[in-house]
Amino acid sequence: MSTIVHVFGFKPDERVWIESALGRSVESVAFVDDGEALLSSVPGAAGHCLIASADVDGAATLKLVRDLRNRGASLPVIVLGPHTAFRTAIDIARLDATDFLERPVSVRQLRSAVRRACMDAK
């Protein structure tokens, strides 16, 4: 089964790193800049997951995950944030996010989290 990763809220250099880290381990990486656009087209198919950043605006990430869950979307969500974002990690877990990875994140950690998230969604 193919794996499609949607990526929300990262700086350009982080996007390059994510795309190269996931490389050939996924079918495609789709970057999303607008949370509302993502919400209006939430992928429901197995093999999709979302990676969101809590670095720039943790509140926006929390809102996005909350809105996804309020709409009944079971899309697996992996949040990357700073090690100082303990409160954000707790709030994300309460919203039924799939994973919260503290920065710095290794390529192996990111690939494993995506693999787990997409397997859980199948």
CATH number reported for the structural domain that contains residue 83 in this entry: 3.40.50.2300
Q: What is the pLDDT of residues 2-29, one digit of tens each?
A: 788 999 988 899 999 999 999 888 999 9
Angle, CA of 83, 89 and 94, to the nearest 5°: 170
- What is the per-residue pLDDT for 56? 63
Question: How does pLDDT run across 33-67, given as a tens digit for each residue?
Answer: 888 888 888 766 678 899 998 876 677 888 888 99
DSSP 26: S
Helix, strand, or coil (residue 7) = strand
For residue 106, what are the domain limits? 4-121
Using an 8 Å Cβ cutoff, are 67 and 96 in contact?
A: no
Domain count, the chain: 1
Q: Specify burial of residue 23 (Cβ count, 10 A radius: 0-12, 13-18, 19+).
A: exposed
